[in-house]
Structure 1
Amino acid sequence: MRNRLLVVPVIALTIVISACSSTSEGTRSPAPQPESPMPSASATASAEPTDGPAADGEQFTDEILTDLCVEKTRSYYSADVEFFPAEARIEARKVDPPWLVIVPSRTLGAESASVCTIGGTVSAPIFEANAAQTPPTDQEIQDAIDGVEHYTG
């Protein structure tokens, strides 16, 4: 419980989710390219594999990343939580772990979001950070993509 209480403020300072997209498909930016300073988001079908290596032969898909983040954070919410996986935002990060996953949700009548950074493999995912929080801003999302930390410790 103490770890969860420490993780939420750290993530809240690091990542703030922008207003949820009104589209029904999730978005994912392509894998960062060395010549491109910032990845851009583009709508994709959630069953497409994500770019990046997978040691176990399987690749993360938007659906798998979204499901992993929801399951990792479900216990952080009250029992009335409703997730919106079709509106999930998946971003390739410039640092490890390579995926930022933001899943909009609603709990206790308030907008919220599950936020996770995921690496590893499909069969053995690694979560560097995970939280249930208020939706982050575009700048906080960009900072999370870039690996910028807003805390000391």
Structure 2
Amino acid sequence: MRSPLAKLGAAGALALILLGGAAGCAATPDASTPVPTSTPTNPAPSPSATEPAPSPSPEPAETSSAEFGEFTGAELAQICIDATLSAFPADVSFAPETTRVERREVPPEWLVLVPAQTAGLEAQAQCTIGGSPPAPELGMSSASLEPLPEEQVQNLIRGENEGGDR
């Protein structure tokens, strides 16, 4: 029969073996199974990588719910495209998914800026629109071979320089 001291020594040795084994087990997966590095070096597309970058103003939605009074962004963009199409060269290509819509301080209520491209130039359809989807009221419609400077956009929001003065 073993003495209590021998039992304690055996228990201590067993504890050291178990702790050493546990420490070895904890270290082994890290050593043999590297931490996945594919996420930082090859990130999966995140919602921000697949969606347009946020802009300071609302963008048209792909849904049928109205976001701009009674209008959807897509409706406002299409009204502006239809109103300005004939003023652009035949090769014009619009980007309605990146339309900028701003609430104006004066009627018509909405300033609509639809990016476009023609002859390799950045262009823009610009409209002021009010009313309702069945009866839109077009205030201004303009085709430009360059986007408006932000200062002019702000003027249009306030109802200033609507004659095209920059």
- Please give the TM-score of this superposition, normalised by the length of structure 1: 0.65
- Which one has more relative contact order, counting CA pairs under 8 Å at least 6 apart? 1
Percent of aligned pairs with the same amino acid? 34
In the alignment, structure 1 segments of 5+ residues that lack a partner are: 1-22, 28-39, 53-58
Instruction: Tell me if the contact between 1:26 and 1:87 (Cα under 8 Å) persists in the aligned partners.
Output: no
Code of the residue aligned with 2:91 in structure 1: it is D
In the alignment, structure 2 segments of 5+ residues that lack a partner are: 1-50
Instruction: Tell me if the contact between 2:58 and 2:101 (Cα under 8 Å) persists in the aligned partners.
Output: no
Higher helix share: 2
Code of the residue aligned with 1:93 in structure 2: it is R
Query: Which residue, 64, 75, 79 being the options, matches 1:68?
Result: 79
Q: 1:94-147 CA distances to partner (integer Å, 9 max, x unpaired)? A: 100000000000111211100000011111111110010120011111111111
Deviates more, 1:78-87 or 1:42-51: 42-51
Instruction: Tell me if the contact between 2:126 and 2:143 (Cα under 8 Å) persists in the aligned partners.
Output: yes
Equivalent-residue separation in structure 2 for 1:150 and 1:72 (angstroms): 16
Greater Rg over alpha carbons, structure: 2
Partner of residue 129, structure 2: 118
- Please give the TM-score of this superposition, normalised by the length of structure 2: 0.60
The DSSP-based 3-state class of the residue aligned with 1:97 is coil
Structure 1 segments of 4 or more deviating over 4 A?
Answer: none
CA-CA distance at 1:86 after TM superposition: 1.0
Query: Which residue, 145, 148, 151 being the options, matches 2:160?
Result: 148
The DSSP-based 3-state class of the residue aligned with 2:106 is coil
